[in-house]
Chain A
Amino acid sequence: MTSAKDDSKGGIYQGRFGELLKVEGKLALREPTGIGMAIGAPIIFVIIFGLIGIASPGNVPNTNYTVLDLYVPVIMVISIIFLGVAFLPVTLVKYREMGWLRRVSVTPVHPSRLLAAQLVVNLALALTAVLIVIFGSELIFGAALDVGILYFVLSLVLTIAVVFSLGLVVAALAPSQSVTTALTGGLTFLMLFLSGLWIPPATVGGPLATIMYYSPSGAAVQALLNSVFNSAPPYTALLTMVVYTCVFAFIATRYFRWE
């Protein structure tokens, strides 16, 4: 077993990450909720807002965007929230509670590699969801997106970072699976509200709008909205996501338990 893919750390065997990734990927695909969240949610939301757009054509008052245009970034953020805040921590806490992380920790492979494999799998699902949103809204409902690649990649990376690190905070702090389910449920709802799924911040106005703009999901929507129409995302939105990511990542690494 000395293939080129062997990862070694100071001469200590660390297993083949590819094998771990393959198994975690298969497990995620066998989990109906995972697929539902990654593939089902963006498809359903694109269809709903696409149909709303057809029912009420033209630009939304006071903006230069159609309904679907405005909601493209919201749907992306929602899909990423479903994966990062709802699916990821539930899986990790389940692994910890059933003793799977502990089981792996008595092999030469550190359980952090299992966590890394989970992150990569969820990342791949998130990217799939984003692609579904972009191509679905453009090709089927004719959204006139003009994606500024650099802006978009920057905004997307920060969005995924902030949402996933929030999910890891839940995984680190939640003592049990049932608490995790309750926490992720509440948190997902809150994040969806702040992203402007029900009422966009521009319509809300006042202090609540400010709160939404400076929330993780609200900032993500602002950054993505600008970048899918090829304008520079507001630096306040980017900075907001960076700060949240640092805080969440600190808490998650500080308090994460393997058993």
Chain B
Amino acid sequence: MDHLVKQYGKTVAVGDISFSISEGEIFGIIGPNGAGKTTMVECISGLRTPDSGSVSIYGLSPQKDRDRIREFLGVQLQESAMPPRLKVGEAVELFASFYPDPMDPNDLLETLGIQNVKSSVYKTLSGGQKQRLSIALALVGNPRIAILDELTTGLDPEARRETWALIESIRDSGVTVILVTHFMDEAERLCDRLALINHGKLAVLDTPEAIAALAGGSRVRFVPSQPVEDKTLYAISGVAEVERKERYITVTGTGDLAASVINSLERIGVHVSEIEARSGNLDDAFVKLTKEGTSKARGTAQS
């Protein structure tokens, strides 16, 4: 995908969002429920027509060139069931017949670990098996772009991990993946870049690490060999905040915090023990950013 620019002024769901996704990356779209994530991917997949603005995929419009785009776009929809008496194998073979150059249905079922339920009907499948079947239908057409909405909702931890590995292998084979999720660990683990959507606005677009750093960055807790003054600690580059609890000192800040704290203190002859470092996590960033958005939105509503 060379450039996917998209701007539309639909006040309710999605308002004026622009970004581009590069070929071969896993692009995550995260945001709280009702943020407009699904509406956005529906515009990308051509299920919805934006009120204004446009989407361009390889120079084609999902609305005008619907038919062309569908040949290389695989979509997994949230909340889409299948006929209850349809068998797993039949579903995958049927969808393979929809595409000009499909994958081998049996290989795909094998990879997804649902080969053993090939002749089971849809209604008897477990939540995880249904989810995998739905992923299979999105991938069977050998897409160049796969849109996966709420990929691992309803999967057990082991199945989630397997699915993640599968998505990475799809990306490694050159497929661009657009992943809609509200699981931070999933976004952190899989995505090359992340767009955080809140109230239909693009709150931030960056790598998961950079977004995590927005949460206030890393946190280092340690016990110094001799008392250290706050002043000394604040002088260390990257340190933003210092807290003390009993003999522990906790500093939060940005950059390679643990290393700079240890080095600076060693230089003045203070040894550091019981070090516990934690890098900023996406969860914190998510909560922080969505809260900011909410309070801002409330402000506008009142004025």
Contact = CB atoms under 8 A, between A and B. Distances in A.
Interface of A: 1, 9, 12-13, 15-16, 19-20, 23, 26-27, 30-31, 94-95, 98-100, 102-109, 259
Contacts of A105: 47
Given A19-B94, A103-B137, A27 B85 contact: yes
Interface in B223-260: none
Given A19-B93, A102-B47, A102-B77, A13 B99 contact: yes
Given A15-B98, A16-B97, A100-B83, A106 B71 contact: no
A23 B101 contact: no
A62 to B, nearest CB: 49
B47 A1 contact: no
A107 B98 contact: yes
B88 interface: no
Contacts, number: 75
B98 A106 contact: no
Contacts of B80: 98-100, 102-103
Interface in B96-147: 97-102, 121, 137, 141
A107 to B, nearest CB: 4
Interface residues of B, number: 30
Nearest to B73: A106
B79 interface: yes
Given A100-B83, A103-B137, A23 B94 contact: yes
B160 interface: no
Contact of A98 (B71, B81, B137, B141): B81
A27 B93 contact: no
22 contacts: A1-B101, A12-B67, A12-B71, A13-B71, A15-B99, A20-B94, A23-B94, A26-B90, A30-B85, A98-B81, A98-B82, A100-B80, A100-B82, A100-B83, A102-B80, A103-B82, A103-B137, A104-B98, A106-B75, A107-B95, A108-B99, A108-B141
A222 B141 CA distance: 51
Contacts of A30: 85, 121
Q: SS class of chain B's interface: helix, strand, loop or mixed? A: loop
Interface string B30-52: 00000000000000011100000
Nearest to B95: A107
Given A23-B86, A98-B82, A1 B100 contact: yes
A52 B47 CA distance: 56
B82 to A, nearest CB: 6
A107 B71 CA distance: 7
A108 B93 CA distance: 15
Contacts of A108: 67, 70-71, 98-100, 141
Contact of B141 (A20, A27, A107): A107
Q: Please give me the 9 A-B residue pairs with the lowest Cβ-Cβ distance, nearest first.
A: A99-B80, A19-B97, A98-B81, A13-B100, A106-B75, A15-B98, A30-B85, A107-B98, A108-B70
B68 interface: yes
B47 A106 contact: yes
B8 to A, nearest CB: 19
B64 to A, nearest CB: 13
A109 B70 CA distance: 9
Query: Which of B46, B79, B85, B97 counts the most chain A CB atoms within 10 A?
Result: B97
Nearest to A19: B97
Interface in B162-189: none
A258 to B, nearest CB: 10
Nearest to A258: B47
A1 B96 CA distance: 10
